[in-house]
Amino acid sequence: MPELGKYALSVLSAYGATALILGALVIYVLRRSALAKATLAAQEIPKNG
């Protein structure tokens, strides 16, 4: 890891915040995808059955 000196707290805080935001977005997208798949599957049942 490079020496960050007096900027270490700022840089590492930015990295941490970015990681948290990206993780939250991934979880959000995966949950929305599962919900969309379930909704589409529920709508297809009456058509096929």
| 3-state helix/strand/coil string of 10-46 | HHHHHHHHHHHHHHHHHHHHHHHHHHHHHHHHHHHHH
Residue 11 · residue 4 · CB < 8 Å: yes
Q: What is the pLDDT of residue 45?
A: 75
11 contact partners, CB below 8 Å, separation of at least 6: 4
pTM over 0.75: no
Residue 4 · residue 12 · CB < 8 Å: yes
Report pLDDT digits (tens) over 1-49. Answer: 678 899 999 999 999 999 999 999 999 999 999 999 999 998 887 765 5
